[in-house]
Amino acid sequence: MKKQSIVIAGGGSTFTPGIVLMLLENLDRFPIRQIKFYDNDEERQNTVADACEVIIKEKAPDIQFVKTTDPEEGFSDVDFVMAHIRVGKYKMREMDEKIPLKYDVVGQETCGPGGMSYGMRSIGGVLELIDYMEEYSPDAWMLNYSNPAAIVAEATRKLRPNARILNICDMPISIENLMVKILGMNSRKDLNVRYYGLNHFGWWTSITDKEGNDLMPALKQHVSENGYAVNFDDSGQHVDSSWQDTFKKVKDVYALDPDTLPNTYLKYYMYPQDEVAKADPTYTRANEVMDGREKHVFGECRKIAANQTTEGSTLEIDEHASYIVDLARAIAYNTGERMLLIVENKGAIANFDDTAMVEVPCIVGSNGPEPITQGEIPRFQKGLMEQQVAVEKLVVEAWEEGSRQKLWQALTLSRTVPNGRVAEELMEELIEANGEFWPVMN
């Protein structure tokens, strides 16, 4: 197997150490000769990089390690760009969540006005990464999980149509891990699923085991009572109590269409007022993450760097992120793995916009993803998705054209915003808060 060279863009991300540990754990499946970190915040990246350098020296001293803020150094001689940037960092996530709540509107990182605000910041950042990749390593592939993935994917489809970028989300993976627990099975890989939707906006229509046995009835029974909540003894990403509430709320989302099993994020569109009522407008998920994951990860990184050893460290392998290895392997070694990806529809959902970026199962090989057709979808989902995809496309047009008018339309069209007046007030406040992170809005 050819040894790979990768750059992690957003080297200073809270997820970087878990991903590095996961890559090191999977070297037999995905051998690596070089890991580079690239970030535009040198200090933040250094904290993570200085620890990861120690980790790599301990576990795989043959791997060359580079940290840089120079695009040429970062993007030269790489096979994969693993991109997880957050333009504006947690400070702006906090704004995205808190500003809408002032108007009794959902305040969320990727859904509703917060997601649009984040999208208007992310598009430029991700396009820049693509341009660096194309300049310095034109044969490389970008595996992108920078959010808001739906808007970012639409922007790259439209503005970099030939880019070798794959957009992926871990929410379905986390949910499938819960399904496996609900069913008392061992691995997500024992499930065969059919699924369709937009990113953070989709539904499972079929789940079988490898023998073809239908697992939906048992899952539906559980979800109708508990959502995706299971008794937890777990560590990892989606374990905070706010995530537990989200898994429980799936019960109400499921009730709207008992033929399918929903993505957790649909709660923001189906029950926005319930989410607003639950939220604390002075302490949102961004605060939880800054006080929780960020403190923990950066604290552990500082310890590792100071002691020059990982002994006693509580940093954990992000086992659930092994899907990133599966995806990179599929491209590198043509494995034909079946995975949910965000791709241009082109008929995969028969009765839906061909140019929409949809989330569907794909067979992935060295030439990229081949979407598996999901047939026609029912009126309920089609109506919701048409409205939501229009929001996402309008945001991208608003970014391209610097158009207030289109952003106002996008905000007004979102199920999370009650009317045009609130949309306009919110927009003006978001423009103000985002400053230079957004294009000039006319």
What backbone phi and psi angles, to 5 degrees, belong to 192? Answer: -115, 120
Q: Which of residues 255-274 bind ligand G6P (CB under 6 A)?
A: none
DSSP per-residue string spanning 358-370: EEEEEEEETTEEE
Peptide bond into 148 cis (omega under 30): yes
Is 12 a binding residue for ligand NAD by CB under 6 A? The answer is yes
Beta bridge partners of 399: none
Is 284 a binding residue for ligand G6P by CB under 6 A? The answer is no
Report residue 319 CA to chain centroid gap.
Answer: 16
DSSP per-residue string spanning 231-259: -----SSS-SHHHHHHHHHHHHHHHH-TT
Instruction: Specify the residue for token string 């537990």.
Output: 244
Write the CA distances from 266 to 127, 250, 261, integer angstroms.
Answer: 28, 8, 11
- Catalytic position from the list 136, 195, 265, 269: 265
The site string for ligand G6P over 121-150 (x = CB under 6 A, - otherwise) reads: --------------------------x---
- The crossing angle, in degrees rounded to 10, of helices 295-307 and 42-59 is 60
Is 149 a binding residue for ligand NAD by CB under 6 A? The answer is yes
Q: Which of residues 223-262 bind ligand NAD (CB under 6 A)?
A: none
Using CB distances below 5 to 8 A depending on partner kind, what does residue 285 bind out of Mn ion, ligand NAD, ligand G6P, none?
ligand G6P
Cβ-based nearer residue to ligand NAD, 71 or 215: 71
Residue nearest to ligand NAD (CB): 12
Is 14 a binding residue for ligand NAD by CB under 6 A? The answer is yes
Cα–Cα distance for residue pair 25/28, rounded to 1 Å: 8
- Catalytic position from the list 39, 79, 96, 170: 170
Among 40, 192, 287, 313, interactor with ligand NAD by CB under 6 A: 40
Is 169 a binding residue for Mn ion by CB under 5 A? The answer is yes
**Of 22, 3, 21, 13, nearest in space to 58 by CA:** 21
- Determine the size of the site formed for Mn ion (CB under 5 A): 2
Cβ-based nearer residue to Mn ion, 56 or 321: 321
Is 302 a binding residue for ligand NAD by CB under 6 A? The answer is no
What backbone phi and psi angles, to 5 degrees, belong to 82? Answer: -100, 110
**Of 173, 175, 174, 155, nearest in space to 165 by CA:** 155
- Determine the size of the site formed for ligand NAD (CB under 6 A): 25
Cβ-based nearer residue to ligand NAD, 295 or 421: 295
Q: Which of residues 74-103 bind ligand NAD (CB under 6 A)?
A: 84-87, 89-90
CB of 67 to ligand NAD, least distance (A): 12
CB of 226 to ligand G6P, least distance (A): 20
Is 297 a binding residue for ligand G6P by CB under 6 A? The answer is no
Q: Is 104 a catalytic residue?
A: no
CB atoms within 10 A of CB 287: 16
CB of 244 to ligand G6P, least distance (A): 13
DSSP per-residue string spanning 48-110: HHHHHHHHHHHH-TTSEEEEES-HHHHHTT-SEEEE---TTHHHHHHHHHHHHHHTT----SS
- Determine the size of the site formed for ligand G6P (CB under 6 A): 7
CB of 27 to ligand NAD, least distance (A): 23
Q: Is 265 a catalytic residue?
A: yes
Beta bridge partners of 337: 364
Cα–Cα distance for residue pair 305/301, rounded to 1 Å: 6
**Of 43, 14, 243, 57, nearest in space to 145 by CA:** 14
What backbone phi and psi angles, to 5 degrees, belong to 115? Answer: -65, -40
CB of 120 to ligand G6P, least distance (A): 17
CB of 172 to Mn ion, least distance (A): 9
Among 94, 97, 154, 170, interactor with ligand G6P by CB under 6 A: 170
Among 13, 117, 177, 434, interactor with ligand NAD by CB under 6 A: 13
Interface residue list for ligand G6P (CB under 6 A): 110, 147, 169-171, 285, 289
Interface residue list for ligand NAD (CB under 6 A): 9-10, 12-15, 39-41, 44-45, 84-87, 89-90, 125, 145-147, 149, 169-171
- Residues known to be catalytic: 170, 265
Interface residue list for Mn ion (CB under 5 A): 169, 171
